[in-house]
Amino acid sequence: MSTNTNAAKTLSRIVITGVGLTAPNANNLRDFRAAVLSKKSGLVHTEIRHMGIQAAGLCDFDEARHQSKKMRKRGTRAGAISIYCAKEALDDAGIKLDERDPFTIGVYIGITEHGNVETENEIHELYQNDLKTEFWSHHHNPRTVANNPAGEVSLNLGITGPCYTIGAACAAGNMGLIEACHMLRLGEVDLALAGGISESPHTFGIFAAFKAQGALGEHEDPTLATRPLDTRRNGIAVSEGGCLYTLERLDDALARGAKIYGEIVGFCINSDASDFVLPHAGRQMECMKRALDRAGLKPEEIDIVNLHATGTSMGDIQECEAVSSVFGYSDETYINFTKGHIGHCMGAAGALELAGNLLSFEDNLVHPARNLEELDPKCALKNLVYGEPVKKKEIKTILNNSFGMLGINSSLIVKKYQS
């Protein structure tokens, strides 16, 4: 153990210097922060093929802002989200690509799945045209390969370093950031664009599957379709979105006088090895504890824990049990969640939810959970914030949880930058 600790001291410090995002309720970090503080919902009713009217979180960003109409026509919704977020993150960080060696930049995008949207659309067109395969798009293969979102960023921005996706279900947003940290510390890249994206509401299959599982959130008011930790919760609201961060080694960021949003100081990835969909509280607890150990922090030194909190019965209960076991005695740790605002953004969830809390380092506010009115006693947690924002003297640390199907867990800790 001492060997690992000593090795950790020699690792490069990794900092966040830019953020680009699109969410169902905002298209940049400042607006997103204002939305979660004011409990602004991004959920609406929309028509889903074969499923009728469903609650979903849809983004409204300018697809043509950072790519040509020709590129968009050939590409995908996932690619459009990725390109928008990547360029916004670079602009926010003050990075000019023509002043950089493109081989030293990497793109690491977490995804739940990819290609379903395009495949469903093309099958639909096939059936509208008497199953004539000549109507099948010759763009199908590059649109549906798993590395497409990162590949579209590479093509659009001319980045020639390692650009790929990380399939990690709903833990993917954190996983993109973790992969970037590894690559920066290995010296494989000098700059990374990392986080997660999802275009899930544009496929009917995900709605049908959650419906079959009894896990699709529904309500006559779409803004109430998902109510994590509430006794009346009935499932997930499927949403799209994206959030990519510009990450750099601290020395490089300081050398160019960059603004630093925060420092990634600890993380852990582990697996339940127990069930296809049901979470395991013990493994989630271990994930958080290992992230704390790697950050050299005690539970009481964490100011905010952002729950994964999907709005499914067992998912919420198991996570709350795990969080209580780690942070239950801490008077200083406040707990919130974000899916009541924007629904479940799947591969983008972890990255977006971290962004929702990131500016707490500036305003020292803990944003409240939305749609929590009748707390499930099995989900009762100390310092759970769900009324008004809570003001702390100073917020220095955030632990962000993201968990996914097949039992993949991720916990990421970001600290307010201190020299």
Query: What confidence tier does 6 reach under pLDDT thresholds 50, 70, 90?
Result: very low
Listing DSSP states for 281-342 in one string gives: HHHHHHHHHHHHHHHT--GGG--EEE----S-HHHHHHHHHHHHHHHTT-SS-EEE-SHHHH
Lowest-confidence pick of 112-121, 159-168, 341-350, 374-383: 112-121
Q: What is the mean pLDDT of residues 115-141?
A: 90
Q: What does the chain come to in residues?
A: 419
The proportion of the chain whose per-residue pLDDT surpasses 70, expressed as a percent, equals: 98
Q: Given this model, what pLDDT does residue 339 score?
A: 98
Examine the pLDDT at 317 and tell me if it is beyond 70. yes
The class of domain 267-415 in CATH terms is alpha beta
Which CATH number does the domain 11-255 belong to among 3.40.50.2300, 3.40.430.10, 3.40.47.10, 3.40.50.1000?
3.40.47.10
Examine the pLDDT at 7 and tell me if it is beyond 50. no
Q: What is the mean pLDDT of residues 70-98?
A: 96
Rounded CA-CA distance 219/103 in Å is 49
Query: What confidence tier does 11 reach under pLDDT thresholds 50, 70, 90?
Result: confident
**Average pLDDT taken over every residue of the chain:** 95
Among candidate residues 66, 114, 202, 308, the one labeled active-site is: 308
Q: Which residues contact 180 (CB under 8 A, 6 or more apart)?
A: 14, 106, 108, 189, 192, 193, 194, 245, 247
Rounded CA-CA distance 160/102 in Å is 5
Among candidate residues 85, 170, 320, 345, the one labeled active-site is: 170
Domain spans, the chain: 11-255, 267-415
Paired tokens of 272: 């339940």
Query: What confidence tier does 23 reach under pLDDT thresholds 50, 70, 90?
Result: very high
Examine the pLDDT at 318 and tell me if it is beyond 90. yes
Q: What is the mean pLDDT of residues 79-86?
A: 98
- Quick: pLDDT tens for 177-191: 999 999 999 999 999
For the full predicted model, state whether its pTM sits above 0.85: yes
Report phi then psi at 138, rounded to 5: -75, -5
Q: What is the mean pLDDT of residues 302-325?
A: 97
Cα torsion angle, 107, 110, 113, 117, sign: negative
Active site residue 268: no
Q: What is the mean pLDDT of residues 227-232?
A: 98
Active site residue 280: no
Query: What confidence tier does 9 reach under pLDDT thresholds 50, 70, 90?
Result: very low
Examine the pLDDT at 15 and tell me if it is beyond 70. yes
Q: Given this model, what pLDDT does residue 419 score?
A: 85
Q: Do domains 11-255 and 267-415 have the same CATH topology?
A: yes
SS3 state at 100: coil
Among candidate residues 114, 202, 280, 344, the one labeled active-site is: 344
Burial state string for 365-392 with b = 16 or more CB within 10 A and e = fewer than 16:
bbbbbbbbeeebeebebebbbbeebbee
The proportion of the chain whose per-residue pLDDT surpasses 90, expressed as a percent, equals: 93
Q: Given this model, what pLDDT does residue 1 score?
A: 33
Q: What is the mean pLDDT of residues 252-265?
A: 98
Q: What is the mean pLDDT of residues 281-286?
A: 98
Q: Given this model, what pLDDT does residue 134 score?
A: 84
- Quick: pLDDT tens for 212-226: 999 999 999 999 999
Paired tokens of 184: 């920066």
Rounded CA-CA distance 143/27 in Å is 24
Active site residue 308: yes
Q: What is the mean pLDDT of residues 191-197?
A: 98
Q: Which residues contact 393 (CB under 8 A, 6 or more apart)?
A: 364
Task: Give yes or no for a contact between 59 and 241, defined as CB atoms under 8 angstroms apart.
Answer: yes
